[in-house]
Amino acid sequence: MIGFILRRLVWGIPVLWLVATLTFALMHVVPGGPFDQEKRLPPEIKANVDAKYRLDQPLLKQYFYYLRDLLQGDLGPSYKYIGRNVNDIIRDTLPVSMQLGLWAVLFATMAGVGAGIAAAARPFSWLDHASMLLATLGISVPSFVLGTFLIMIFSYQFHFFPAALWEGWRHEILPAVTLALLPASYIARLTRSSMLEVIHKDFIRTARAKGLSERQVLFKHALKNSMTPVVSFLGPLIATLVTGSFVVEFIFSIPGMGKFFITAVTNRDYPLIMGVTLVYAVLIVVANILVDVVYTWVDPRMRIRKP
């Protein structure tokens, strides 16, 4: 298993290099520059600024400078936030986005798997129809609509939770629920369909024939063998939610990476855009490795054996 993880980490290196290269190319292909404003800078000042950030160098030379700094762990200075390094911005904002994302992953997994099990245990019953109706609503309602609705009801109407900021556990409930509803709906539908397929397998009929209770059949035999699609979905989902949702962070005024990324795109802050993109890529690679490790527990057929 250790060798497998190391091999996957090694294969992740060219993936990260490709992401860094494509992001660098896209940033420089788009017309305009990071210091193009409505009021143009004097030529002397513009030349000094370009020289400071190496923008006066040939594009290929800028690319090699970027890779050299990246290998040293330096993501470069921010063009927008003068005096701040991209490393410092990510160090300050990533924990907030990760905390929000982990709460959302926990809620989405518990609510989605629970609703899927309840629906599969009584197929075509009122519980099944109600669970799938809620799942369909969760997929259909945009996060900015849901977030606004939750703020109106639970903040302004009943004053249960704060409407914004990030100053304690009560501030985390509404944004986490808003961020988790869509993935919870997908997980519920995946769990239901996978469990309904497993329930009709021969080993489930054998378990029932042995006299096991329905609870034992569902949770001990059916659930574990129907988790493969859910685990596949959780890989990219964890990376997506842990990096936070830009829309949700904006609605609830959360000081996460989303705020800085939106500002970076607006102001053409190349280093910050590339830094946040690389963080997202690293999380995707790590999440996929974790999914492959979990596979070996969920499905014994995928365990790696020595030749």
Q: Which residues of 234-248 are buried (b: 16+ CB within 10 A; e: fewer)?
A: bbebbbbbbbbbbbb
The 3-state DSSP class for residue 150 equals: helix
Band (pLDDT 50/70/90 cuts) for residue 150 is very high
What is the pLDDT of the chain when averaged over all its residues?
83
What superfamily does domain 95-256 belong to in CATH? MetI-like (1.10.3720.10)
- Nearest CA-CA partner of 217 in 305, 117, 111: 117
180 in Cβ contact with 112 (< 8 Å): no
The 3-state DSSP class for residue 85 equals: strand
**How wide is the angle at C-alpha 137 spanned by C-alphas 135 and 138, nearest 5°?**
65
β strands within the chain, DSSP E: none
- Dihedral sign for Cα atoms in the order 25, 31, 36, 42: positive
Band (pLDDT 50/70/90 cuts) for residue 212 is confident
- Dihedral sign for Cα atoms in the order 104, 107, 110, 113: negative
**Which whole number is the average pLDDT over 84-112?**
89
Give pLDDT, residue 263.
78
Give pLDDT, residue 38.
52
Domain boundaries, the chain: 95-256
Q: Would you say residue 134 has pLDDT above 80?
A: yes
Tokens of 43: 């030529």
Q: Would you say residue 9 has pLDDT above 70?
A: yes
Tokens of 139: 């997929």
